[in-house]
Structure 1
């Protein structure tokens, strides 16, 4: 009797362990799809769009954000299963936070290619213009007809264009000046010019106007040159401030005779520089630079299929 019970117990334990192993192996199949990292205005995990298509669409969205302030992003994934596209899209919206904070003027076009589903997710601030009905019409009349013909690039591009036109009709706050740090090729010569103007030409202004006022004038000249060359307000302020600091410190060092601690009587000399200013690597492309502005979403928008 004891042997039979022991065999029955062994069989039961084996069944339980086998069932647990099967469940463990099956669990990842039913896990939610991870929200992709926001690497740019267009994120394609399916290889549907070419690099040229992504570049053109990203530039269009970048120009729109610069002009209007609103942010639009495009996401293409193979599937959202086991979630519906509505559940997945709101998770993406909450993670990416497209649109400006407290204005909430963001929208995301999500395409689940293998599921043949898509959705336009709309931030709170655009729900008055990009309504559920309007979003559905864009999907049904603009996007899905081209998707059915296999023209995914055309459907996405035309759909985004219609979204931009609709949002353009919504009165929104004017976008704040953005900090554009250009690229490394622009910054390298500017670094040299900043150093030269601060120490060289700036010396004449400091001799005429004094250390403080002369350094301020020098920084203003550098800021103005930067503004005209790159058109970046943020970078103009940064390099202008750097020029002021370099010029002011250069005069402090040159005003003291090395090894004596005594003043040279205000004479300016350049001397050799033991180090240079170098810019950090920066890129104006979407990769690594684009991020959501903190916008909020409440589930507004529409879904469709093809």
Structure 2
């Protein structure tokens, strides 16, 4: 790999690391209602806490509310996934967590649904709850009413008791195909380039890039194409990458393919990849921190199910 290519690759990675470093931090999980935007009355917070605690005690489902003043330029769906990845709502066994996220200044709202509850709290129902229960109240400036109506509808939906006429237009049609095409192209150029570099590199740097790219493959495809298609794409990356590395190392055709393309694309030895791993590993680990609290998540997993809206 020539000097110009090395410099360009290093610049792209530096920009990616900068975006991660300066992205909006995840707030501290202090309770079931985390009103960091200050939009809810104390009485409303108390009622919600009691309702959600009672539901969790009887079902183990963890439904949590988070309000923030601003997303600070982040994409709503990406920030929501970042929150649930850190908070780990729901139990590890059942993946039964739900996050109701409200960004006041951005006028956006999202319901993020854990894997174990996607069968009852579907994307369509989540979208209906936002449109029919939350947004009308928010438009009138009634944040207490919007959040309480939304939480009540979420709990009913989990128990298959929420009744609403689902609209023919669902979330899969909300993103125009032109926008989807542009975003897909950008994603493939940027993330696809680094994935190829990781695939054709050797040493620890290759696997560092694999770990670094995993959140991008996990977050972007579900946000663009929906949970099912997005998870399928992520599965191809998660399983295909190690399989390809194995074939490159242990099969005749794989070795020939690697020898043919790796020289021109990333060079031999993967030395630049190793330096990436050593220089940025500390900043990556320092960006996440753990803290003890009387209330915490139980290890639940999320994969992009839910819906978003605005008012």
TM-score of the pair, normalised by structure 1: 0.51
- Residues 136 and 303 of structure 1 are in contact (CA less than 8 Å); yes or no, is this contact kept in structure 2? yes
In the other structure, the counterpart of 2:220 is none
> 1:31, 1:82 within 8 Å by CA — same for their partners in 2?
no
| Among candidates 99, 116, 136, match of residue 107 of structure 2 | 116
Q: Is 1:143 paired with 2:143?
A: no
Which is greater in Rg?
Answer: 1
- Distance in 1, Cα, partners of 2:67 & 2:142: 14
Q: Is the 8 A contact 1:68 1:168 kept in 2?
A: no
The residue that corresponds to 1:83 in the other structure is 74
Structure 1 residue 80 displacement after superposition: 1.1
Distance (whole Å) between structure 1 residues aligned to residue 48 and residue 91 of structure 2: 20
1:43 shift after superposition: 0.4
Within the candidate set 271, 276, 300, 1:295 is matched to: 300
CA drift at 1:288: 3.7
| Cα distance in 2, alignment partners of residues 114 and 139 from structure 1 | 17
Q: Name the SS of the counterpart of 2:94 in structure 1.
A: coil
Q: Which residue of 2 aligns with 1:23?
A: none
What's 1:241 paired with? none
Query: Which residue number corresponds to residue 178 of structure 1?
Result: none
1:87-166 mapped onto 2 (5 Å cutoff): 87-166=78-157
How far apart are 1:34 and its partner, in Å? 0.7
Q: State the distance in 2 between where 1:58 and 1:150 align.
A: 21
Q: 2:52 aligns with which of 61, 71, 82?
A: 61
Shift in Å, 1:81: 2.4
CA RMSD, 1 decimal: 1.8
- The residue that corresponds to 2:37 in the other structure is 46
For 1:94 and 1:75, the matched residues in 2 are separated by: 14
Which of residues 61, 65, 68 is equivalent to 1:74?
Answer: 65
Q: Match for residue 205 of structure 1?
A: none
Question: Which residue is 1:207 aligned to?
Answer: none
- Cα distance in 2, alignment partners of residues 50 and 288 from structure 1: 23
Structure 1 outlier segments of 4+, above 2 Å:
none
| Shift in Å, 1:53 | 1.5
Number of aligned residue pairs: 163
Distance 2:39 2:33 in 1: 11
TM-score, length-scaled by structure 2 = 0.51
Q: Which runs of 5+ in 1 are unaligned?
A: 1-26, 171-286
Indicate conservation of the 8 Å contact 1:48/1:152, yes or no.
yes
More helix by share: 2
Three-state SS of the structure 1 residue aligned to 2:71 is coil
